Amino acid sequence: MKEEILCAGYGGQGIMVMGRVLAYAAMNSGYHVTWMPSYGAEVRGGTAHSMVRVHSNSIASPAVRYPTSCIVMNKPSLLKFSKRVKSHGLLLIDSSKISDGEIKQAVVGLNNICVKKAPFTEIAMSLGEKKVANMVTVGAFNKVKKLFSIKELIKAVSFILRDKDELITINEKAILHGYNMEI
């Protein structure tokens, strides 16, 4: 296992938590793992990203410049990171506010990568909470990549939200919905 994941979107979309859920699930599944946030200077109003490495062996640098899996939750992130996805890697896109034409343009010329998209924010709104778009995405991501068991993902999110009981149910529901959806 050598998975290098980059999650990107606006500040406030839960990009950091997304990475942390994956990191916790990785740790509890017995892998070496690092999580690192993007540096603060670019957060306000711009894109934020978190980087997760999941390896069978010890990890050198925690930074991920060229991801094997890239999750983009908005258009600026799509434009910034799509060209960096490694060959045979995955590009997963929240297409809620991005047109098909824009996506096509962003991935033109990218060979050997798997592009998947779904309107994760819209799906989250249909579940009654726009903010859980990140968890729907995590669920869908794991369905495509099959890195961890769904049980570990649920365990991870309930651990991270252990001080916010009222949020656990909706976040678990979101992960399950993402995991069971067609993508």
Q: 64 or 91, CB closer to another protein?
A: 64
Q: 37 or 76, CB closer to another protein?
A: 37
Q: 28 or 76, CB closer to another protein?
A: 28
Distance CA 166, CA 162 (A): 9
Q: 31 or 141, CB closer to another protein?
A: 31
Q: Report DSSP letters for 46-96, one per residue.
A: SEEEEEEEEESS--S----SS-SEEEE-SHHHHHHHGGGPPTT-EEEEE-T
Work out how close the CB of 71 gets to another protein at its nearest, in angstroms, rounded to a whole number: 18
Which spans of this chain sit near another protein (rule: CB under 8 A)?
Answer: 20, 23-24, 27, 30-37, 39-41, 57-63
Work out how close the CB of 173 gets to another protein at its nearest, in angstroms, rounded to a whole number: 24
Structure tokens at 35: 């999580």
Work out how close the CB of 102 gets to another protein at its nearest, in angstroms, rounded to a whole number: 31
Do 85 and 77 form a contact (C-beta atoms < 8 A)?
Answer: no
Work out how close the CB of 24 gets to another protein at its nearest, in angstroms, rounded to a whole number: 6
